[in-house]
Chain A
Amino acid sequence: MNHAATTTALLDLKGVRKTFRTPERAERTVLEGVDFRLEEGEIVALLGKSGSGKSTLLRIMAGLIPANGGDVRYRGKTMTGPARGISMVFQSFALFPWLTVQENVELGLEAAGVGLVEREERANEAIELIGLGGYESAYPKELSGGMRQRVGFARALVMRPDVLLLDEPFSALDVLTSETLREDLLDLWDESKIPTKGILLVSHNIEEAVSMADRVLVFSSDPGRVRAEIRVGLPRPRDTESAAFRQIVDEVYTLMTAHVRGAVAGAAEQLTLGYRLPDTTPGKLAGLLETIAEPPFSGRADLPQLAEETELEDDTLFHLFEGLRVLGLARIAAGDIFLTQAGQLFVEAEDAERKEMFAEALIKNIPLAAHIRRVLDERKDHRAPENRFLQELEDYLTDNEAERVLETAITWGRYAEIFDYDYNSGVLMLPEEVVEEMEAEEEKAAEE
């Protein structure tokens, strides 16, 4: 299906910038200098961790939100709003629950003023095409997740779109269902049964991206930009077990985990207070460390293999990798993850020791944790409201993200017993034992 890009690209983005402004606060840059082209006849996958801004980019291409800077063109014309010819499939399906399958599929045609008879004809066609025949009069809530997403596809395809934007459409489905749906879509595409000329898939599943796309773009976060591009030259349908396929998957894993700043593994990297703590828990981190330490990996694991072994989603894994890396418990290089000396010691230690080691790593490596502890140490009553820290974080992050980061910091800090938190009052404090210890020491000092 690869045509030479002689004419204008379907979508052409140059130097796209997107910032969000919260009232009375500094701008936060979500996208910076994004260049992107979607040519006729290709499927492109956009891979990135959650929160990297790839969904925002997709919405800019859909005309749902405007970019703050740069140039966004659809078929050579500057984008000013949702375009005719661009359809979208949503992660959450976004079906109208009070409309039947048929009515859902017809909705876009109706809005476009297509007559009753033609509407019904085209809807029936799309419903048959996507394998929903017989379910026309069903309501979405009567259908399984896979069938619901088929309605989502039928609703998009009935508009006969040039460009199909897919916003993680398979990630809410189970493995088996998503594979079937993916294959069905690829069949329609490869056999040119749909008039669609280009597909953009946003995903955080590496294997999914490599199995579908002609090009895979790796997206980096803070601010989001296209960091690397990999061409997948394999013919479809692709054999996911083949060496060539695995090779590409490995390559993408390496790219996804490579760090732009600390390119040299282990090089000390200065994090800021606003560093976005990976969304994971100490329990999971310890679990992954143990898995890496044990056979078959024995201290060093190939990333795709580890993904298979742990049966974790790519997104979850990347958060774990990031966590281990910033805490200095593991290192990643050339698509492999291996334990550092500290990591090895951690695995061998007992529970109480582990907590101490974790606390030490936390204070040393995570500025936010160190900052919270310092404030609590300095305060007379060793207590501080969470809002104080939230406000500091909001200088760097959006409100929601600031809350999530603080929540993560609290979870980690509680495990390490470097501070405690009272949910009802929203107050952070030193653990009781620590306060007692400090008081005892003070008394001693006073006696002397």
Chain B
Amino acid sequence: MRFSLPPVAVAPSLKPNFWDLALIPVIFALLALLAYGGAQMSIPYDVGEPLPMSLDPSNLPYYLLRSALRMGAALVASLFFTLTYATLAAKVPALEKVLIPILDILQSIPILGFLSITVTGFIALFPGNLLGVECAAIFAIFTSQAWNMAFSLYSSLKTVPNDLIEASNIFHLSPWQRFWRLELPWGVPGLVWNMMMSVSGGWFFVVASEAITVSGQNISLPGIGSYIALAIADKNLGAIGWAVLAVLGGIIFYDQLIFRPLVAWADKFKVDSLPGEQVPDSWLLTLMQRARFFRFMTQLPTMLWDIFTGLLRRQDDDKLFHRAPGPLINFPPWADRVWDVVLIVAALVALVEVSLFINGEVELHEVGMVLLYGVATTIRVSVLIALASVIWVPIGVWIGQRPLVAQNVQWIAQFLAAFPANLMFPVAVILIVHFDLNVDVWTSPLMILGTQWYILFNVIAGASAIPQDMKDAAGNMKLKGWLKWKRFYMPAIFPSYVTGAITASGGSWNASIVAEMVSWGDTKLEAHGLGAYIAHATADGDFPRIALGIAVMCLFVMAFNRFLWRRLYMLAADRLRLD
């Protein structure tokens, strides 16, 4: 497999052609920006030193660059994490037993609670340099991106078709070669899709993670997020407007320059595209495949890549047979038992440790309170998902029936999902204060502001995928009204709806940490809920309470997933698939 974008022609003429004229400036501009932004990330810095921030919109492109770079760095880190973590989990059964449950838990941990815990460590890692704080912010974004990518690759690795594995054995590929030539390529479409989802969710965390509080000190890293934080503190609505535009630019930048080409390229790794499915295309990829100079430029990387993935051939060349394929590492059965015991003991020790840590600070009745807060937030999330479903499912189905509308709306919905909803929070504060509304009720919609779009665009996708013959049959039987919904639309879109609702619900839990405690200037609104509890403890740097809050939220999210979403998902997968 080649990761270079264009297929290298046998004897390409290397004279630059028309396409090069367009492409070369783009590439050099990108490289220059990368270098400049990178240099700015590692300037000397001591905690307490104020970083200059200004609300002048002319600074926004620079801030955008810094935020986008953080996003990129987090994405690269997530990719490395995915390649190692998912591969280990898929290849070593003893590790799989630990790594997969951990991933499951990590996925339900509220990311925003992480930040204050990790930032101290990162600063200690790079004393006297801004890189420490940058790393903490990047880590926060990383934690919002990595888990689903790792899950995606893991499940791909577990589902590599058996005949392809047999073929790679018959043709004597070494485990190393098999990974790069078979297993990773097999996982590429899923991985690219999940990267796109991750970045889409990542903008929210970029905004939330740049203004950090460490041991009473506020650090604002230059970036869109800090700009917004400053605008909120200054009650500057105009600046918020500029920030919205800048984020829009960032989203388009990532979409056009990175994900469009990536998705178009990943299409070749799909085993079979369904007939009628639109083949994704990208102007940038087309440009790169046509530009001669660029093809020339990629020849060397392609060759290096081929050499790299072709490394580690089977060492038993001279023998008649090579070793029969098996698991990467084989442990004797007793080692398995010992390992189980070690895991159980470790889990118990950790449980005791955490209880002691929390118990030293927090009274038992407060734990009860926190559980009640958890119930309050659960109710908010459930009611809002239900409301959003009632609104968006009919609209999504309507749109999905009209291919021309769907194409445009689909793009807008995906964009809205990427848009950091926390930008809109100030507006809510102003409205709530102005109309003197109940804070517990009216801050709730903020939780779903950014995540409801997942429901919409999944429903649209589901509705557009309903086969024409089924629609014809429904029309032929003159299905109408509620009956048509009950017997036709709802079962047909159910699997895609569940996928969307799971994403929306997970996102809402996370968003509750910023949505239950919002501010505008010195006006602070705080609802009763688990999110507000964690946000409060984070602002105070109160680690036992952060730990308690996170643990309880984790518990609720996992229970929610296990008892509701996973069951619905199984039901959808088993009963209601259209194929």
Contact = CB atoms under 8 A, between A and B. Distances in A.
A388 to B, nearest CB: 20
Given A107-B171, A107-B181, A111-B172, A81 B269 contact: no
Q: Which of A77, A98, A100 has the most CB of B within 10 A?
A: A98
A276 to B, nearest CB: 22
A64 to B, nearest CB: 6
Contact of A99 (B1, B174, B314, B324): B1
Contacts of A66: 324
B163 A92 contact: yes
Contact of A111 (B174, B268, B270, B324): B174
Interface in A105-126: 107-108, 110-113
Contact of A83 (B163, B173, B177, B320): B320
Interface in A35-77: 59, 62-66, 74-75, 77
A209 interface: no
Given A81-B322, A98-B185, A141-B271, A111 B169 contact: no
Interface string A372-391: 00000000000000000000
B181 to A, nearest CB: 7
Contacts of B322: 81-82, 84
A94 B7 contact: no
B163 A94 contact: yes
A84 B169 contact: no
Given A96-B181, A112-B172, A77 B7 contact: no
B310 A110 contact: yes
Given A90-B167, A108-B171, A159-B171, A98 B268 contact: yes
B263 to A, nearest CB: 15
B166 A75 contact: no
Contacts of B577: none
Contact of B323 (A80, A86, A155): A80
A148 to B, nearest CB: 11
B164 interface: yes
A21 to B, nearest CB: 14
A88 B320 contact: no
Contacts of A84: 172, 320-322
B321 A59 contact: no
Contacts of B269: 97-98
A100 B161 CA distance: 19
Given A79-B321, A110-B310, A96 B185 contact: yes
Contacts of B155: none
Nearest to A80: B321
A415 interface: no
B270 to A, nearest CB: 7
Contacts of B363: none
B575 interface: yes
Nearest to B173: A111
Nearest to B163: A94
Contacts of B169: 64, 82
A86 B317 CA distance: 14
Contacts of B181: 96, 107
B271 A85 contact: no
A87 B313 CA distance: 19
B324 A63 contact: yes
B306 to A, nearest CB: 8
Contacts of B271: 97, 141
Contacts of B7: 100, 137
Contacts of A247: none
A424 interface: yes
Contacts of B310: 110
B317 A82 contact: no
Contact of A94 (B164, B188, B321): B164
A245 interface: no
A76 to B, nearest CB: 10
B404 interface: no
A94 B167 contact: yes
Contacts of B128: none
Contacts of B174: 111
Contacts of B30: none
B262 to A, nearest CB: 14
Given A98-B268, A111-B172, A82 B167 contact: no
A135 interface: no
A96 B7 CA distance: 16
A139 interface: yes
Interface size bracket, B side: 35 or more
Interface residues of A, number: 42
Contacts of B166: 59, 62, 64, 88, 90, 94
B277 interface: no
A139 B268 contact: yes
A66 B321 CA distance: 13
A126 B174 CA distance: 23
Contacts of A100: 7
B182 interface: yes
Given A82-B170, A90-B167, A97-B269, A111 B320 contact: no
Contacts of B324: 63-66, 80-82
A294 to B, nearest CB: 35
A182 B161 CA distance: 26
Interface string A387-409: 00000000000000000000000
A64 B273 contact: no
Nearest to B164: A94
A111 B171 contact: yes
Contacts of A86: 170
Contacts of A107: 171, 173, 181
Nearest to B166: A64
Contact of B317 (A74, A77, A90, A113): A113
Interface in B148-183: 161, 163-164, 166-167, 169-174, 177, 181-182
A386 to B, nearest CB: 14
A424 B491 CA distance: 14
B579 interface: no
B272 interface: yes
B16 interface: no
Nearest to B171: A108
B273 A141 contact: yes
Given A82-B172, A107-B181, A113 B313 contact: yes
B321 A82 contact: yes
Nearest to B323: A81
Given A59-B166, A84-B320, A94-B166, A155 B171 contact: yes
A74 B320 contact: yes
Given A90-B166, A94-B164, A139-B268, A111 B177 contact: yes
Contact of A62 (B164, B170, B177): B170
Contacts of A74: 320-321
A141 B181 CA distance: 17
B575 A424 contact: yes
Given A90-B163, A111-B173, A111-B313, A97 B270 contact: yes
A112 B268 contact: no
B350 to A, nearest CB: 30
B521 interface: no
B44 interface: no
Contact of A88 (B170, B185, B321, B575): B170
Contacts of B270: 97
Contacts of B50: none
B325 interface: yes
Nearest to B1: A98
A99 B325 CA distance: 23
7 contacts: A59-B166, A63-B324, A65-B324, A82-B325, A87-B171, A98-B185, A155-B171
Q: Which 5 A-B pairs have the closest CB atoms?
A: A108-B171, A81-B324, A94-B163, A94-B167, A81-B321
Given A84-B172, A108-B170, 19 more contacts: A63-B321, A63-B324, A64-B324, A65-B324, A66-B324, A81-B323, A82-B324, A84-B320, A84-B322, A88-B166, A88-B170, A92-B163, A94-B161, A94-B167, A96-B185, A98-B269, A99-B1, A100-B7, A423-B575
